[in-house]
Amino acid sequence: MPQLRSDAARSRERILAAAADHDRASLRLNDVARAAGVGVGTVYRHFPTVDALVEALAADTVRQALTAARTALSTEDPGRAFHGFLSTVLDLLLTDDGLQPVLLAEEGSSTEVGRAKTELIETAAVLLDRAQRAGAVRPELTLPQLMHLACGAEHAVRLGTSDDRGTIAAVLLAGLRPA
């Protein structure tokens, strides 16, 4: 991202802070502008779409997921690496409700977050392939199916209580193992 003037950088930070208080699924740029105390045009200059704003809000979480994926690549046991990575992604999905729409977005973004997401998906594919070749994960499972399962597990935990997380994660992980 190009260097912003100090007043533009302050406006951007106010917009992000105001948006962070909103549910990502119901985020509206006009509401964010009002909450941030800036004009709606200012919001649109920084974030031309709600998706761009959600992506910016999830930037740190995407980077954390990428770090977890890179770390998992260096783990010797492919099954343990994959399951540990998936567990971390589940935790991140529960921490940041903006991560799911960013991960599931079809279109690629040329932003830093978009590039991190691309590397994250490529690395997750390698981790899945390694775990499948090691016999730790069902061979028929595809990466898109895995992403949908992880997002579904996140949704299931949100519908229940925080105590449900361990059980749902255990069921998901057990279901990924070959029959």
Q: Which residue has the tokens 């920084």?
A: 46
State the burial class of residue 33 (Cβ atoms within 10 Å of its Cβ: 0-12, 13-18, 19+).
Answer: buried
User: pLDDT (tens digit, 9 = 90+) per residue, 75-99?
Assistant: 999 999 999 999 999 999 988 888 8
Which residue ranges form the domains of the chain, and what is each CATH number?
A: 6-56 (1.10.10), 58-176 (1.10.357.10)
**pLDDT more than 90, % of the chain:** 63
- 134: alpha, beta or left? (left if phi > 0; alpha if psi -120 to 50): alpha
